[in-house]
Amino acid sequence: MATKYSDRSIPKISLHDYETRIDEITRELVAAAETDGFFALVNHGISFEEIEEQFEAAARFFSLPDEVKATVPFSHKNTGWEKGAQIRPSTGKPDQKESYQMQFGEAMDGMWLSEEALPGFKKQSLGFMMKVQKVSEKLMVCFARGLGFPDDYFVKYHDVTKPTIQTVLRALHYFPLDPTVPTPEGYFRAGAHADWDLLTLLFQRPGQSGLEICPGREVFTAFGAGDTWTKVEPAAGEIVCNIGDLLMSWSDDRFKSTFHRVKTPTDPAVDYFGPRYSLAYFNQPNTDCIIQGPLKKYPVIQGWEFTAAAMKRNFAALEARKASNKLEESKVGLVATAF
């Protein structure tokens, strides 16, 4: 079935003069969260050069031999490297990509490559993560206000100085494809999914297109297959943000966690076939934090439980998919990642 597209755009929100404009910014963020679930941030304080530095670091990581990257393999702690191993319940097929997940806390013990293997990478990445954290915290204050919580409510439950923090920076690398060789049906660079964090901040590189979203939970079929999609073209220096399942539930479903995917290029006339690099920053709570929306729509749940439940749901959906697909498990290693 051909994909249906609508050429609506996502709201663009500027963070300039944050302190004096906070009420206006809050209104814009809340409106975006209640409708599209996606928005693009500009004037956020991270320069294009700083973003490029992290992309260059990520490219250095991915250019290492697989045997070296395999010394920091993806694990149940939601850190580390995988290649062609993430199967989305929406597709039942592995994403055509490799990714490396970094964290601030104890989950990252032993998961950095040595200085000899990748000089300066850890310092660069942690420095960049801290800059993205600061932008995230500005958004958290606004969303807390929007929901009638104290200003520091979300910030204190996403405290990256505590070892219990689950926040992730995921570097992604989608492989270049040969336009003359058609990709078999059903494969995506990243299959349709909603993120299950509080809030995702995504960095893309100009020209490396492919991201598509299904705004505002308009989706009516499971995992977004067959609905109307909107392309989000990369723009230099912009951060594309989306609400995750955690903030949807923490807001009693007022803010929308939206399905998105990265399409496999199929049409040489319009699609980009080169390599795509992206950086996704997933704001995840401290394991011991207490989660409940202002209307108490859902029972109280702790930070670690929310993550565990999300992983379990993904596994269950994957199992159902495998049963209906008769997926050949022997051909690929199964990995459930957190996003």
- Residues in touch with ligand AKG (CB under 6 A): 170, 172, 190, 195, 202, 204, 211, 260, 262, 278, 280, 339
Phi, psi of 296 (to 5 degrees): 55, 40
CA 337 to CA 324: how far, in whole Å?
Answer: 21
**Which range, of 27-35, 73-81, 194-202, 205-213, touches Fe ion by CB under 5 A?**
194-202
The least CB distance from residue 326 to ligand AKG, in Å, is 27
The least CB distance from residue 231 to ligand AKG, in Å, is 12
> Which of helix, strand or coil describes residue 25?
helix
Token couple for 238: 């912009």
Q: Which residue is nearest to Fe ion (CB)?
A: 195
Size of the residue set binding Fe ion (CB under 5 A): 1
**Which range, of 52-60, 113-121, 192-200, 282-290, touches Fe ion by CB under 5 A?**
192-200
111 binds, among ligand AKG, Fe ion, none (CB under 5 to 8 A by kind): none
Do 41 and 199 meet the contact criterion of CB atoms below 8 Å apart?
no
Nearer to Fe ion, 118 or 190 (CB): 190
CA 162 to CA 303: how far, in whole Å?
Answer: 13
242 binds, among Fe ion, ligand AKG, none (CB under 5 to 8 A by kind): none
Site for Fe ion in 57-116 (CB under 5 A): none
211 binds, among ligand AKG, Fe ion, none (CB under 5 to 8 A by kind): ligand AKG
Nearer to Fe ion, 160 or 338 (CB): 338
The least CB distance from residue 238 to ligand AKG, in Å, is 12
The closest alpha carbon to 230, from 52, 32, 6, belongs to 6
The closest alpha carbon to 291, from 337, 246, 241, 336, belongs to 246
The least CB distance from residue 75 to Fe ion, in Å, is 20
Nearer to ligand AKG, 144 or 307 (CB): 307
CA 109 to CA 71: how far, in whole Å?
Answer: 13
Nearer to Fe ion, 111 or 243 (CB): 243
The least CB distance from residue 210 to ligand AKG, in Å, is 7
257 binds, among Fe ion, ligand AKG, none (CB under 5 to 8 A by kind): none
The least CB distance from residue 204 to ligand AKG, in Å, is 6
Residue type, 229: W
The least CB distance from residue 300 to ligand AKG, in Å, is 27
262 binds, among Fe ion, ligand AKG, none (CB under 5 to 8 A by kind): ligand AKG
**Which range, of 93-101, 128-136, 188-196, 270-278, touches Fe ion by CB under 5 A?**
188-196
Q: What is the H or E stretch that residue 80 is in?
A: strand 80-83
Q: Judging by beta carbons within 10 Å of its beta carbon (0-12, 13-18, 19+), is residue 280 exposed, middle or buried?
A: buried
Give the relative orientation of helices 121-147 and 48-62 as an angle to the nearest 10 degrees.
130
The least CB distance from residue 55 to Fe ion, in Å, is 18
Instruction: Return the residue of 36, 82, 98, 195 that touches Fe ion, per CB under 5 A.
Output: 195
Element counts in the chain: helices (H) and strands (E): 7, 15
Residue type, 256: K
256 binds, among ligand AKG, Fe ion, none (CB under 5 to 8 A by kind): none
- Cα 329 from chain centroid (whole Å): 26
CA 170 to CA 80: how far, in whole Å?
Answer: 9
202 binds, among Fe ion, ligand AKG, none (CB under 5 to 8 A by kind): ligand AKG
**Strand order through the sheet with 190-193:** 4-5, 228-231, 211-214, 259-262, 190-193
Beta strand 4-5 pairing with 228-231: parallel
